[in-house]
Amino acid sequence: MTDTAAPDQAQPQETAGPPLIRMLAQYVKDLSFENPGLFAAQGQTNTAPEIELGIDVRVEPGPPEQGIFSVELKLSARAKRQDTVVFIVELVYGGVVQLQDARREDAEPMLLIECPRLLFPFARRIIADITREGGHPPLMIDPIDFVGLYRQQRQRAEAEAAAKAAG
């Protein structure tokens, strides 16, 4: 008797494929825009405001057997001209992701680097749109080095763990 099944269906693969991220959903969790200095800013349109930018990434696990996580990218910006706050915008943009074929040591970098990298362009556009709708030039946030942020976070965590162990 001959086997007529396709070659890839004849036997299950012995090794798992490369780790994958499936984006199951994306959403705005929280959005705040304050425009206290619009009129003060109108007279000073020739000088760009000073922008203070804040970035945070949070991960919450879902059902562990399914490899589902909630990843939240928080972006905040405060624009000032001299002592006047021109606008404040805060956005928490979330994604529900599923990690497939990810080893334990791969999961953390995937969740804290790759997932925010996937969410960032959408969050950036929302911030640009809301600042434009608020009467200002769109705030186009420069690309973010999530690898560098992850390394800084790991170094801080290791330093805190070492300090606790020594103390």
Query: Domains in the chain, ordered, with CATH?
Result: 17-141 (3.10.420.10)
- 94 beta partners: 27, 72
Query: In this predicted model, what pLDDT tens digit does every residue of 130-160 receive, in sequence order?
Result: 999 999 999 999 999 999 999 998 898 899 8
User: In whole angstroms, what is the distance from residue 100 CA to residue 66 CA?
Assistant: 9
Report, as an integer, the average pLDDT of 121-138. Answer: 96
Please list the residues that pair with 69 across neighbouring strands.
61, 97
Query: What percent of the chain is predicted at pLDDT more than 90?
Result: 61
Range among 11-20, 60-69, 114-123 rated most confident: 114-123
Could you tell me the CA-to-CA distances from 97 to 14, 17, 49, 57, 120 in Å, in that order? Answer: 25, 18, 36, 14, 14
d(CA 77, CA 33): 10
| Rounded CA separation 56/72 (Å) | 8
Q: What is the largest CA-CA distance in the chain?
A: 86
